[in-house]
Amino acid sequence: MLAEKVKVSVFGKINSNLRTGHINSPNAKNKSAYVISRRKIQDYFDGVVIAVAEFEGLDGERAVVAPVGEVFYEPELRRTLSKLKNIKLKSISCLYEKSCGAIIFYKTKQNTKILLVKNNNGRYWSFPKGHIEGNENEHQTAIREIKEETGLDVTICSGFREISEYCPFGKIRKRVVFFLAQAFTDNVKIQEEEIDSYIWVDLQQAKKLCSYDNDMRILNKAETAIHLMKM
């Protein structure tokens, strides 16, 4: 059901941005759903199933639908659904996922090194990143994830913010916000539950090891930004 386009009929209001309704699609006929939007919506509209949730005390899954074009990430959906009375959210699968991370560089007298990591079961080198939690902003998420995954305390460099978007499994739509961050030691302590291995390499080696076009594009921009810092 996730990512399905549906016809929505709204019949109740819970709060300013959460309503109840029915959805109709080839796979769901007059099925109950929660309707979420940041703007005023019509009683009948075209929507997308942006999440599928389970609640304690309710049988089966409940779709969460938004108007076409509106994007909601898991922390906001959890906050909104937590306001429901007399039922508690058990689990949720979301169409849109957002992570934050950074290209981490460490300067020595000889050169500038870039940190690459491989996630557990990962085949490709990339940059530390992780999902936004709670009420974190993007910088807070990046700093926390870097600390958890590598043990490094870093400083986020101003003026650099690049976005990578992709659909790794056909449905889930991932957005990753990357910053540029400076480390002041190369002493990495990996989080073994998340990271399989790491390597410090120079910029040219990093380009050879990065496989994805998005990573290469962001790395090229990071190289330019780092060179400008030296001027």
Q: pLDDT tens, 79-94?
A: 999 888 888 999 999 9
User: Could you tell me the residue range of the domain that residue 218 belongs to?
Assistant: 98-230
**pLDDT bracket for residue 183 (50, 70, 90):** very high
Token pair listed for 87: 């039922």
* Count of domains for the chain: 2
Cα within 13 Å of Cα(61), Cβ side: 14
Token pair listed for 120: 């557990």
Domain boundary among 75, 94, 113: 94
The answer to whether the pTM exceeds 0.85 is yes
Query: 113 and 163, same structural domain?
Result: yes
Domain boundary among 94, 115, 131: 94
Query: 118 and 12, same structural domain?
Result: no
Query: 157 and 218, same structural domain?
Result: yes
**Does residue 58 have a pLDDT over 60?**
yes
**pLDDT bracket for residue 230 (50, 70, 90):** low
Query: 68 and 56, same structural domain?
Result: yes
Q: Are 39 and 83 in contact (CB under 8 A)?
A: no
